[in-house]
Structure 1
């Protein structure tokens, strides 16, 4: 067993540091927390099980624009979400309003043309110029790479006196143990339960509550098609489609910029339990056929098509997530605060946000509220 006290992770002699923080999870929450600690010169290491960072923020690259990745995870944020706007401003990232100019289509059956209704009429939503992955890239640039450990899958956590002991597998499948005084978990509730042995360090009542809280977007699947020409816009359409036919039940304009990099994306309505019997190739073909039915033969000429089924991601979805109807995160971290802070544990995943839980804003909210308790005086 390697010991972090011997500097096997390249982040310093942790065992001699009385204020060392271990962050688990390298999505938006974890990286946002790491940025705050780095700005305050607090000692920390971040462990991420996957080979890359970003969590549920994933983008597929444009074929023509190296500065653009099309979102297959979260796509929007909204005008009331001030933390997102503040972060983007700090990171010097631009955003723009979701395209809704033009009419909406309603597809009620596959044999007849969709019904066209004047005006999209949806509430304003914003998208990040270049894709949500820009946020991850900019956060990574603010954190020393030696403190970021991708491919380090945590499989056990224990308490030893007033210190945390975190056990992980390295990318070389070696065993690693890291000790720290503070623990920040940037994971959804059920993923925490699945991998981090909370029965070792939380009460049974808290563990049961964690088990009952669904991971936002865990059962979703998204399809995106890239085009050379935004033909729907030229036809006076917003790109919005609502369908009773499927496989996509909701479709939107996904152009990578205000007027460039044409694309359409949709949410697949087939339940995750039924998608198991459908191959990626079959699903992509069905989605493309639906676009042709809705928008006409011009939709045939795609440059690329991508499908992301989040229900297949072991670090996002659990069997219980897939058996339930989707619902928004509803977890109230305040009810657990006393037990957690007593042992210097902080749950900072998006589902623990005091506002907008499950969304990007919720991730920032969860981190900010925990940082205020864990490190008084740090402003994120």
Structure 2
């Protein structure tokens, strides 16, 4: 399979990655008539947003986040996108006491939950990417396509893209490329010809991947029984295996859900799934009582074991979380034909949904300012 064009201006802009940043860039470019092609290695859109049905028969509105989850009212780029997509966020339940678990026991802290003001989306944050993808012509999105090499073509200042599509080698020609993947993953999985500057490659290796060290588990119950007991569902633990727990209950069905983050690292992350689930439920019983012992369903996902997200070194949490991405990742390469997007590159708020949206729109704006694209002509 091969696609080619005689000139860069006739070729599409290729966006690598159909997560929130990549699809945001695609939306902005496609809206002004710029030909685009989004290549995604997974068999789904969404990247690090992923929601699963609460129960096998649950409607989409009851889906629960196993990936990126929250936004906040002070996130302008996310709030603008929600308005454009006609999505109303819901405020995470936070009324009631906080549970604080220490080796000495569970302490009931009557002050407001530490998750007050957190915003979630009905059906999970993955609904953002689904709605963005639905706005694109079907021919603009290709799943199961893993990019392996980018080559700068001096003639016409184009980029040759090599990829594996369902294990078949494909070659594409692009007017420009937006790499909307975690920088560390790119450094380990995509070859560049000519090679990127040494400083750029080092930055790519050094930047931690948002979500990569995280492991989430979710227990689903017939109802949010902890609320009746005066708990908010928010808990912090010095004991584990979950170090932070939140009320993730769906809005409409009446089901209850508690989700938590595993400690990173934690030996249980390498244990059999049944052993890990038993440890989580034992902890929830310790925190919220015997009703926690019998969930209707249990879900979990370790992002460090997701090879299309994480690379070597990502299993460890970052020593510090930057406020913004490195300035070098905001500098186009290859005479403007190669740009970066993704939450790790954002100048707004690093690693958040808001940062992903900002970075995708920034990349699109940079490309649309380039005369060679000649949009609309």
If the length of structure 1 is used for normalisation, what is the TM-score?
Answer: 0.90
8 Å Cα contact 1:21-1:180 kept in structure 2: yes
Does residue 61 (structure 1) correspond to residue 58 (structure 2)? The answer is no
**More off after superposition, 327-336 vs 187-196:** 327-336
Q: Which residue of 1 aligns with 2:238?
A: 244
8 Å Cα contact 1:152-1:170 kept in structure 2: yes
Query: What is the SS of the residue equivalent to 1:67?
Result: helix
8 Å Cα contact 1:330-1:351 kept in structure 2: no
Q: Report 1:263-302 matches (<5 A).
A: 263-271=257-265, 274-275=267-268, 277-302=270-295
Deviation at 1:347, TM superposition (A): 0.4
Deviation at 1:253, TM superposition (A): 0.4
CA distance 1:15–1:169, change in 2 (3 Å):
farther
**More off after superposition, 369-378 vs 81-90:** 369-378
Q: Which residue of 2 aligns with 1:8?
A: none
> Aligned partners of 2:350, 2:193: CA distance in 1, in Å?
24
1:127-158 Cα shifts (integer Å, max 9, x gaps):
11221121122111101111111100111111
Q: Which residue of 2 aligns with 1:346?
A: 339
> Aligned partners of 2:69, 2:331: CA distance in 1, in Å?
34
8 Å Cα contact 1:15-1:179 kept in structure 2: no
Q: Which residue of 2 aligns with 1:96?
A: 90
**Number of aligned positions between the proteins:** 366
Higher RCO structure (Cα 8 Å, ≥6 apart): 2
CA distance 1:258–1:47, change in 2 (3 Å):
same
CA distance 1:221–1:338, change in 2 (3 Å):
closer
Query: What is the SS of the residue equivalent to 1:306?
Result: strand
> Aligned partners of 2:77, 2:6: CA distance in 1, in Å?
32
> Aligned partners of 2:117, 2:252: CA distance in 1, in Å?
14
Q: 1:23 aligns with which of 12, 15, 19?
A: 15
Does residue 156 (structure 1) correspond to residue 149 (structure 2)? The answer is yes
CA distance 1:275–1:176, change in 2 (3 Å):
farther
Q: Which residue of 2 aligns with 1:305?
A: 298
> Aligned partners of 2:74, 2:252: CA distance in 1, in Å?
21
State the superposition RMSD in angstroms: 2.2
If the length of structure 2 is used for normalisation, what is the TM-score?
Answer: 0.91
Query: What is the SS of the residue equivalent to 1:242?
Result: strand
Does residue 357 (structure 1) correspond to residue 350 (structure 2)? The answer is yes
CA distance 1:330–1:320, change in 2 (3 Å):
farther
Q: 2:80 aligns with which of 81, 86, 94?
A: 86
CA distance 1:154–1:219, change in 2 (3 Å):
same
**More off after superposition, 337-346 vs 97-106:** 337-346
Q: Which residue of 2 aligns with 1:45?
A: 37
Does residue 227 (structure 1) correspond to residue 221 (structure 2)? The answer is yes
> Aligned partners of 1:81, 1:331: CA distance in 2, in Å?
14
Provide structure 1 residue ranges, at least 5 long, that are not aligned to the other structure.
6-12
CA distance 1:367–1:333, change in 2 (3 Å):
farther
CA distance 1:294–1:269, change in 2 (3 Å):
same
> Aligned partners of 1:258, 1:249: CA distance in 2, in Å?
28
Q: Which residue of 2 aligns with 1:131?
A: 124
Query: What is the SS of the residue equivalent to 1:55?
Result: coil
Q: Which residue of 2 aligns with 1:169?
A: 164
Structure 1 moving runs of 4+ over 6 Å: none
8 Å Cα contact 2:28-2:361 kept in structure 1: no
Query: What is the SS of the residue equivalent to 2:49?
Result: coil
